[in-house]
Structure 1
């Protein structure tokens, strides 16, 4: 079975963000070893992840039955596995891996937004975090 694609799709609001129902996970915190500096690979650091996963929630809204939706913990486990797993150089890679695994494991998800934040970075000045955000759409004909 071929892996699902994470491509782009034109069905989005003017700013590129999909419309419709979604599951929302905010502020997931994990210790990981991502980055290009040697100390990032050996000491690691905290990462904060936000995820939006678009899917049709009407049936679950009417039935009030967990089997008609997707448990938040299923997405949480994917994020935890990726962030606490194999070291990546780029946050872009971490975000893409999360999006790809969500699509692979949950065919009911039509789009996903993943934000990966590094709150503790060695830059001069005060900041909350640095990071990346990606939006991916399930697409039959687009490459991963």
Structure 2
């Protein structure tokens, strides 16, 4: 990871039906996502021109569509799907880091959450 610039969308909340257990598929649950997208922001920093960066709204729209367009048993697969959609949509992204959290997984725990995190770099496609 050569560059340190990134666009961050954190603590995004979605309601979905991802999971292995029957309750997760029928009742659904809340999910929290943290997304970091590695992109060179130096031109935008120097120019103060909105056209030289990537809109948070556009990034969110891709994430939301990817989250909702199909159901996954594993949140690992969900995270990979979101990463793929981000790379497909934004050619300047060098890498993405995605954390998917299940704060209400159907497991008897009083406090806490379960999560995965993936880091993917763009490969020549």
- Whether TM exceeds 0.5 here: the answer is yes
1:57 and 2:58 are equivalent in the alignment: no
- What is the TM-score when the length of structure 1 is the normalising length? 0.82
Task: Provide the C-alpha distance between the structure 2 equivalents of 1:66 and 1:74, rounded to a whole number of angstroms.
Answer: 13
- What is the TM-score when the length of structure 2 is the normalising length? 0.93
Task: Provide the C-alpha distance between the structure 1 equivalents of 2:4 and 2:65, rounded to a whole number of angstroms.
Answer: 27
1:102 and 2:86 are equivalent in the alignment: yes
For structure 2, the 5+ residue unaligned runs are none
The answer for the alignment partner of 2:108 in structure 1 is 124
3-state secondary structure, aligned to 2:117: strand
For structure 1, the 5+ residue unaligned runs are 1-11, 13-17
- Name segments (4+ residues, structure 1) moved above 4 Å: none
- Over the residues paired in the alignment, what is the CA RMSD in angstroms? 1.3
Task: Provide the C-alpha distance between the structure 1 equivalents of 2:112 and 2:58, rounded to a whole number of angstroms.
Answer: 28
Which protein has greater RCO, CA pairs closer than 8 Å, 6+ apart? 1
1:29 and 2:44 are equivalent in the alignment: no
Aligned residues: 125
Cα distance, 1:124 vs. partner? 2.9
Task: Provide the C-alpha distance between the structure 1 equivalents of 2:6 and 2:103, rounded to a whole number of angstroms.
Answer: 26
Task: Provide the C-alpha distance between the structure 2 equivalents of 1:20 and 1:41, rounded to a whole number of angstroms.
Answer: 38
